[in-house]
Amino acid sequence: MTCPDTVTYDWATATLRDVTSGTNRTILARTCTNGAGWKQVTATLTVGHKYTLTLTNRDDNYPGDPTYTLYDDVLVQ
């Protein structure tokens, strides 16, 4: 993640919704790693359930400090 700001203004999150049970889990809390490398997260899934994964990047749109997030290796086993 390139985030030259603080987590107050710019951040990334990942939320996993279990559609079958109607529950949500934040598997990546608001984070602004500011170039400190990849942040790995894992979650346990229930066999037979349907899920929606939402990846969010929040930028305050200030032109002097653009923020962007790269997500890699999303895997379901």
Residue 60: C-alpha distances to residues 2, 6, 45 (Å): 13, 10, 33
pTM: 0.80
On the CB side of 6, CA atoms within 13 Å amount to 1
Count of other CB atoms within 10 angstroms of residue 24:
12
| Domain ranges (residues) in the chain | 1-70
Contacts of 54 (CB under 8 A, 6+ apart): 14, 15, 16, 17
Q: Per-residue pLDDT tens for 22-56?
A: 999 999 998 887 767 788 899 999 999 999 999 99
Q: Per-residue pLDDT tens for 48-77?
A: 999 999 999 888 888 877 877 888 888 776
